[in-house]
Amino acid sequence: MTDRAYFDWNATAPLRPEARAAVLAALDVVAAPSSVHSEGRAARAVVERARCQVAALVGAETKEAVFTSGATEANALALTPDLVAQGRPVTCELLFVSAIEHSSVLSGGRFSAEQVERLPVTAEGVVDLAALRTAIVGAKAPLVSVMHANNETGVIQPIAEIAAIVHEAGGFLHVDAAQTAGRIACDVALLGADMLTISSHKIGGPQGAGALIMRRVQPATPLIKGGGQERGFRAGTENVAAIAGFGAAAAAAAATYEAAGDRMAALRDRFETLLKLTAPDAVIFGAGVPRLPNTSYFAVPGLKAETAVISFDLNGVAVSSGSACSSGKVAQSHVLTAMGADPALSPGALRVSLGWTTTEPEIDRLLIAWKRVAAALLKRQAYAA
């Protein structure tokens, strides 16, 4: 699709060539990985190689990774009151989640609604550490879930500091790293995460695969019971082809993310500079704090995001109105609400997210589209100049 420019990488990233090759090769696997015959062992080898690649991406041990159908399922598996820590059962009384989490975390997993408490964020979209400290004090084995970076704003959370606070209070930390593993440095030990979620399709692997890294704790029971695959943590014959593609994408991302990040940051900054020149009243969310290098989340007074997304699309450019998971519904972003953003701005929030193949001419195309969209929807002819 050379006549189109894709700027929705935080929703899903196009398949990497390495992942495509691995998927195609694995489709010829003839047996289930649990079978003991040679064919089964060949399938097992494909899965284990991928496990090694995925674990290495986040500095985990291979045995700490369990494959799931995606980040949503990994989050649902992790968020349970019944954990096992160093071989001993632990019951978590309460789950604390930041107010800007993905809906799969906000829903609280296997905790009841009364057991889930939301943690506030600052106006820049960073978890309020003082509020976290106060909230978890006195809770019995609190489980805390905070994302590494937010999918809408791209704002990176101070996970190592959060881990220190949580561990001091005798709690456990789950980190949803769907937006960061394979995109920025994401080392499970350096972050201090006890459990960590990864998604395949955010890093150029196929959709429908993910992993939960379980370091200091594990869920006591699986979410999906059955044949005991994945060491009993996730029943069901493994999705061998998707897992193979996930592994290949993880290996490719590990080798290239740093250079890709620098390149994307320069392109993103160029877009934002020109956006501000054409629309000085544009508000760029989270611009004052560390952000993912590929994400720009902004609003301009008077702009309606739904109409703008369609208008961009007609101009050959794919952007998103905030979180893709909630698009299609005309709901205000819960992330912007939690940040206390001006309610007059929120309905116009647009997310532009770049990827490792994004080019300078694509940014030019985005800027031309932006000028047309602004001229048409905001009736500011100066934009079209």
- Residues taking part in catalysis: 325
Toward ligand PMP, which CB reaches closer, 70 or 108? 70
Are 192 and 168 spatial neighbours (Cβ–Cβ below 8 Å)? no
Binders of ligand PMP among residues 153 to 182 (CB under 6 A) are 176, 178-179
Toward ligand PMP, which CB reaches closer, 210 or 247? 210
DSSP for 317-367?
EE-BSS-GGGTTS----HHHHHTT--TTTGGG-EEEE--TT--HHHHHHHH
Mask of contacts with ligand PMP, 301-330, x by CB under 6 A? ------------------------x-----
Toward ligand PMP, which CB reaches closer, 104 or 218? 104
Are 102 and 146 spatial neighbours (Cβ–Cβ below 8 Å)? no
Both tokens of 306, joined, read 């739904």
Is residue 71 part of the contact set for ligand PMP (CB under 6 A)?
A: yes
Closest Cα partner for 315 from 382, 384, 351, 368?
368
Is residue 145 part of the contact set for ligand PMP (CB under 6 A)?
A: no
Is residue 100 part of the contact set for ligand PMP (CB under 6 A)?
A: no
Is residue 70 part of the contact set for ligand PMP (CB under 6 A)?
A: yes
CA angle 293-319-153, nearest 5°?
40
CA distance 36 to 258: 40
Is residue 99 part of the contact set for ligand PMP (CB under 6 A)?
A: no
The answer for residues whose C-beta is within 8 angstroms of residue 74's C-beta and 6 or more apart is: 66, 68, 197, 198, 199, 210, 211, 212
Q: Which of 5, 51, 72, 186 binds ligand PMP (CB under 6 A)?
A: 72
Is residue 199 part of the contact set for ligand PMP (CB under 6 A)?
A: yes
Binders of ligand PMP among residues 349 to 378 (CB under 6 A) are none
Interaction site with ligand PMP (CB under 6 A): 70-72, 102, 104, 147, 151, 176, 178-179, 199, 201, 210, 325
